[in-house]
Amino acid sequence: MSVQSEPLSANDLAPPSAPALNARANLLRDRSLRLVLGLLGLVVLLAAWWLGTDVLARPDSFAARFSPTATLPALGELLKGSDLPLHVMVSLRRVLVGLAIALALGVPIGILVGTSRFAEAATTPAFQFLRMISPLSWMPVAVMVFGVGDAPIYFLIAFATIWPIMLSTAAGVRALDPQWLLLSRSLAATRWETLSRIVIPGILGHVLTGARLAIGIAWIILVPCEMLGVSAGLGYFILDTRDRLAYPELMATILIIGLIGFALDSLARALVRRFAPGQA
C-alpha cells in the first residue's frame, strides 16, 4: 500500500519574508545581549567579592578567610568527592515534598476562593493574617509538634509556599473569560467537566507562576529550616563547616546553594514559557 504525500505549495517553497528574518535577527540579538549583560553582572559581582576580601581586607583579617581565591579551590574539592551530593539530594527532596503539599492544598483552595465570593470573604482576613507571619517563627512550634526530622521541615516549606500558589490560582480563576463558563453551562457540562476542560487549563499559567514564586521561597527558607537538628542537608552542611572552621568550604556551599537555586528558577521559567507563554 503506497502513501502519496501532498504536493508542496508555493508558500512552502518560498523563503522566509524579510520581516520574519528581521524579527528572528532581533530576537537572536536580544538574547545575545541579555546573555552578555548577565555574564558581565556576574563578573562584576565576583570582582566586588575579590576586592572586599583580597584587596581591601587585611591578610590576617577574618574576612580574608572567605575570599574567592580560597573558596573556588574548595568548591572544586567538594564537587570532586565528598558527602555534598547526598546533602544536595536530601535538600531537593525536602523542597519537592513541601512544594507537593503546598500544591495539593493551595490549588483546590485557590479554586474555591476564586469561584466563591462567600469563600473569599470568609477566608481573606484569616489567610492574610497567616501569610504575614514569618514561616521561620513557626520553627519552635513545628519541632514541638512534629519532633526532630523531616516532618517539621515539610511543614515549614509547605506553610511558606502555599500562599503564592493559592493566591495565583485564585487570581487565575477570576481572570477566566466568563463566556467560556457560560458556554459550559449552555452545554449542560458537569462540574467536573467544567473544572477539567475549562478551569484547570485556563488557570495553568497562573498556577505555574505561583509555583515558580513558591520555589524561590522554599529554597530561601530551606537552609535555616535544616538547622533544626537534622543530620543531612545543605543547612546542616553549613553548620558542619562552621563547626570545623572550614570557612572556604562554607563559602563554597553558599555558592552551590545559589547555583542550584538559579537552576531551579530557570527550570520553572522554562515550564512557564512552555505551557503558558503569556505568563512568562
Q: Quote the cell numbers at residue 36.
A: 552578555
Amino acid 68: pLDDT: 86
Amino acid 75: pLDDT: 85
- Angle between helix axes 68-80 and 247-275 (nearest 10 degrees) is 70
Q: Quote the cell numbers at residue 170.
A: 485564585
Report, as ranges of residue numbers, the positions in the chain whose pLDDT lies below 70. Answer: 1-18, 20-21, 277-280
Amino acid 257: pLDDT: 92
Amino acid 17: pLDDT: 63
Amino acid 3: pLDDT: 43
Query: Do 255 and 71 contact (CB within 8 A), yes or no?
Result: yes
Distances (CA, A) of 221 to 34, 41, 72, 141: 29, 25, 25, 16
Give the helix/strand (H/E) hosting 63: none
Q: 78-105: per-residue pLDDT in tens? A: 888 778 888 899 999 999 999 999 999 9
Measured from the Cβ of residue 98, the count of other Cβ atoms closer than 10 Å reads 27
Q: 26-64: per-residue pLDDT in tens? A: 777 777 888 888 888 888 988 888 888 877 777 777 777
